[in-house]
Chains A and B, each alone.
Chain A
Amino acid sequence: MTDPERISQRGAGLAAHLLQAGKSELPDDASVERTLRALGGAGVLLSTSAAASGAKVSSAATAAGGAGAGVAGSAAAAGSTAKAVSAIFLVKWIGIGVVGGLGLASAAVVASGSSTPKPPVVAVREQAPRAPSVPAPVVPAARSSVVADEPAPVALPAPTLSAPRPSANVLEPEATPPALDEGAPLAAEVASVDRARSQLAAGQAAQALATLQGYEQQFPAARLLPEVLFLRLEAGERLGRSAEARAAAQRLVDGFPESPHASSARKLLGP
């Protein structure tokens, strides 16, 4: 039996166009990483891609990232000995280097029961663990929503931030040094990146690109540059501005080859 020609391969027509659009859709790398962290394999990841991601965020954020990674390492160890998933349920929206480290730090603190709940940190949200009888709780994703027939998680503010939080909030987890001078700008950077991400998610690719293009001027330290470049790549693609997308991809691959986003960039650039 021979399969018919796929509609998307006709090259023309609305049906083909719609299917090509559907085919080209990919989850973002952060989504994959969140899932990996939520799994028993998180220990593996924390020693590789997550740590690498944190390390790429620049020396200015080293104290915060390092502390986060340290606690995250504890979480990973605890998670592996306690068979995995349990310690990781609490991680919420971990997308990028330092933020990811801080998120895991929060998770570790909450999991150990040694801390009172903290207010949401910029771009990092937590939630109470679901009932243990549920086979596999979900670590809510960036664009929070309900998945299974379970009560909705306590909704904390979405990561769409209009104003930076005080630096103390960013570096709040226990055992983390007080905010550095760079803390407040880091929060602002996170807010800026979040704004771009939200714009992209809302289909406002042009606005997102504008936000991202202003990022490097606004924040010369550019500690979230890998994430920004990845979003520029995505925004450029969505707008059909392939040269811009490729330029961002090239910078990502050249400057941050170990970034979790670099693999997507390489795919775009081709062999």
Chain B
Amino acid sequence: MAAEAAALDEPQLSYDPSPVRVEGLVRKHYAFVWRLLRRLGLREGDADDAAQQVFLTASARLGSVEPARERSFLYGVALNVGARARRSLVRRREEPLEAASESAAYEPSAERLLELRQARKLLDRLLDEMPEDLRVVFVLFELEELSTPEIAELCEIPVGTAASRLRRAREDFEERVARADARRRFPGGER
């Protein structure tokens, strides 16, 4: 991420790097970073570790981060750390979701999915299947409720590009949801 690279390349100590600011940074943005990492494909425990890595990295560079750019900076670091973590992880997505989906098939009502954990697993699987550039925009808009201009700024892309990606991402997601729903309702039909 260019924002992170720029910040990391020239760590000029011109802003407050104090523990107080570090703590504030964590308390203010931890949930955002953690949830972002989760929806970018990390499991809970992995997201804990990765979020910690994000803030450790960020704290070491905080002196070069303008307060108004903290979120953007963290976002860049989180994407970087998350991508690295995903590469290094042995993915174990297969077991719980598939097994759970099988059993859910016997009661094909939407209520069966009301269990949050189950829903999150399915959500993560669907997000996993999305192209990465769409996924990022989608997650920031739908889950973090950022506006398109904010996403454009974070991702350092034109607003039009962000809007276009968002539109494609939403179509993509809804198609995948429809397919997943059909699979749940009619197991053994469509694969």
A-B contact pairs, 28 of them (CB 8 A): A1-B163, A7-B173, A17-B110, A17-B114, A21-B123, A22-B120, A25-B38, A25-B116, A27-B47, A34-B48, A35-B52, A38-B52, A40-B59, A41-B26, A44-B23, A135-B57, A136-B53, A136-B57, A139-B52, A140-B49, A143-B43, A144-B49, A146-B88, A146-B89, A147-B85, A149-B88, A203-B96, A205-B117
Residues of A within 8 A of B (CB): 1, 3-4, 6-8, 14-15, 17-19, 21-27, 31-32, 34-36, 38-45, 80, 85, 135-150, 201, 203, 205, 238, 240
Residues of chain A contacted by B155 (CB below 8 angstroms): none
Whether B143 and A19, one on each chain, are in contact in the complex, defined by CB atoms closer than 8 angstroms, is yes
Contact status of A35 and B26, CB under 8 A, knowing A148-B85, A238-B117: yes
Which B residue's beta carbon lies closest to that of A19? B142
Known: A7-B142, A145-B46. 7 other contacts (CB 8 A): A1-B149, A1-B163, A15-B177, A22-B124, A35-B56, A85-B59, A143-B48
Residues of chain A contacted by B117 (CB below 8 angstroms): 203, 205, 238
Which B residue's beta carbon lies closest to that of A24? B116
Whether B52 and A141, one on each chain, are in contact in the complex, defined by CB atoms closer than 8 angstroms, is yes
Contact status of A135 and B60, CB under 8 A, knowing A6-B141, A8-B142: yes
Residues of chain B contacted by A34 (CB below 8 angstroms): 48, 52
Contact among A14, A45, A140, A203 with B23 in the assembled complex (CB-CB below 8 Å): A45
Does chain A have a CB within 8 A of B130?
no
Whether B59 and A39, one on each chain, are in contact in the complex, defined by CB atoms closer than 8 angstroms, is yes
Whether B51 and A238, one on each chain, are in contact in the complex, defined by CB atoms closer than 8 angstroms, is no
Does chain A have a CB within 8 A of B44?
yes
Whether B113 and A17, one on each chain, are in contact in the complex, defined by CB atoms closer than 8 angstroms, is yes
Count contacts between A and B, CB distance < 8 Å: 186
Give the shortest distance, in Å, between A84 (CB) and chain B (any CB): 8
Contact status of A4 and B170, CB under 8 A, knowing A41-B20, A145-B89: yes
B interface residues, how many (CB within 8 angstroms):
65
Whether A41 and B35, one on each chain, are in contact in the complex, defined by CB atoms closer than 8 angstroms, is no
Q: Mark B122-156, 1 if CB is under 8 A from A, else 0.
A: 11101000000000000001110101110000000
Closest 9 A-B residue pairs measured CB to CB?
A: A143-B45, A141-B48, A136-B56, A21-B119, A41-B19, A27-B34, A147-B49, A41-B23, A41-B22
Whether B173 and A147, one on each chain, are in contact in the complex, defined by CB atoms closer than 8 angstroms, is no
- The CA-CA distance from A5 to B34 in the complex, in Å, is 24
- The CA-CA distance from A14 to B173 in the complex, in Å, is 11
Whether B113 and A39, one on each chain, are in contact in the complex, defined by CB atoms closer than 8 angstroms, is no
Which B residue's beta carbon lies closest to that of A40? B19
